[in-house]
Amino acid sequence: MFYEFLSPTDIELVVGDENFQLNQIGNHIQYYNGEEVDLQSFHLAIIGVPDGRGSAENEGCSGAPNEVRKQLLKLFIPSKNQFKAIDLGNIISGETIRDTYFALASVVLKCVTNKVVPIILGGSHDLTFGQYMGYQDLQGMINVVNVDGKLDMGATPDTPLQANSFLMHLLMHQPNFLFNYSHLGHQSYMNDPNAVDTLESLGFDCYRLGLMQSDMEIAEPIVRDADMISVDLSCVRMSDGPAHAQASPHGFYGEELCQITRYAGMSDRVSSIGFYEMNPHYDINQQSAQLYAHAIWYFMEGYYCRKNDVPAQNSNYSHYAVNIHDVDYEIVFWRSNLTGRWWMELPFSNEKFSREQHLVPCSYNDYQLACNDELPDKFMKYYTKML
């Protein structure tokens, strides 16, 4: 049973003498108390992972879960009539960090198979590996989006699995069930260009901070196509999120991170999200804890704005067929009449992928490129992977 990995939240420590108003989250969330719960009665689950052993460069991040909880409970519910969330407590740290990965993977798997979205409060960023492993037994390929100022590839392929090297281990893990990986907000001066080249040579995507900030709507189709999201607080500039030993003067603004998490919440596909590397030792007046709480609130609000907007399951779409010069097939674009979001359809060259998987989230800009006789980059990347 996955309950053996959980320790109930210390409500007295987190809530204290706080008197919540009627519609604050603290007055609506339920708590795991050590007894079996009916997970299917909930939409969202808070899971703390107070383990920072993988982040020697940011020692103290293990104290983040309860600090974020304290700020989250003060916020008002994002959906008055639908809000159903449970706090499953904290993952009990294993004898080794890999034991913690296993425990987190087990809890994530249990939540996802019960259609409950886990919101993970780390802990060190290498816990993303445990979050990822929760999908291994689902018998399908998944897409991962990571929001971080650094790529965390490690110096060499032999670098031990830590917060600054977990990505290499995730990419090399066998059996492989990673279809696509997208990295949002990396800062070039903090990353080895060879690491960027490696990711791009594998057909994965790296979006620089400057590109993202020039048009934050770039993030929408990327996170809409993700199964899991991972966030490192160091993606945010020091002035907005100081609680990191290596906080940078550059990064996303707080509201930009919240925009990304709201997009993630609105995605019908995203089934888990993790927030990592918030270190209370470096926080100022709980500023970073509040930022993560706000980002979680926006994710929750986005979740309750989901429209079941999946083309393969819904007929309320307009179709646009575009022929491109020197290409022997046409690209069919789908536009939702409900939300205005776009998809492009890949040719059915590989029947092992479902029709839904042949519909790739895109933007109106991709449609415009095709109309101007330019093949969108995303089209070729996905088409190549499906051959």
Determine the Cα–Cα distance for residues 188 and 319; give it in Å rounded to an integer. Answer: 39
Cβ-in-10-Å burial (0-12, 13-18, 19+) of 57 comes to middle
DSSP 265-295: HH-SS--EEEEE---GGG-STTHHHHHHHHH
Q: What is the pLDDT of residue 351?
A: 57
For domain 2-303, give the fold: Arginase; Chain A (3.40.800)
Partnered with residue 47 across adjacent β-strands are: 120
Predicted confidence at residue 81, as pLDDT, reads 81
Bond into 175 cis (ω within 30): yes
pLDDT score, position 356: 61
CA-CA distance, 2 to 237, in Å (whole number)?
A: 37
Taking residue 347's Cβ as centre, other Cβ atoms within 10 Å add up to 13
- Predicted pLDDT at 350: 55
Strand partners, 6: 91
Eight-class DSSP state of 347: P
**pLDDT, position 288:** 98
What values do phi and psi take at 129, rounded to 5? -60, -40
Locate 350 and state its tokens. Answer: 């590989």
Q: What is the mean pLDDT of each run of 10 residues along the chain (387 residues)?
A: 89 89 95 92 97 94 97 94 95 96 97 97 97 95 96 85 94 94 96 92 94 96 97 97 96 98 97 98 97 98 92 82 83 92 81 67 94 89 81
Helix, strand and coil in the chain, % to nearest 5: 40, 20, 40
What backbone torsions phi and psi does residue 14 show, to the nearest 5 degrees? -80, -45
Q: What is the H or E stretch that residue 317 is in?
A: strand 317-323
Span(s) in the chain for CATH 3.40.800.10 = 2-303
8 A C-beta contact, residue 85 and residue 77 = no
How far does Cα 93 stand from its chain's mean position? Answer: 22
Helices then strands, each counted (H, E), the chain: 12, 14
**Can you read off the two tokens belonging to residue 139?**
């018998």
Give the pLDDT of residue 241: 97
> Which residues on adjacent β-strands are paired with residue 320?
333
> Could you tell me which of 143, 128, 132, 20 has the C-alpha nearest to residue 74?
20
- The helix or strand, by DSSP H or E, that contains position 6, with its residue range, turns out to be strand 6-7
pLDDT of residue 68: 98
Q: Return the closest-CA partner of residue 43 out of 70, 91, 82, 90.
A: 82
Strand order in the sheet with 317-323: 317-323, 330-336, 342-345, 359-362
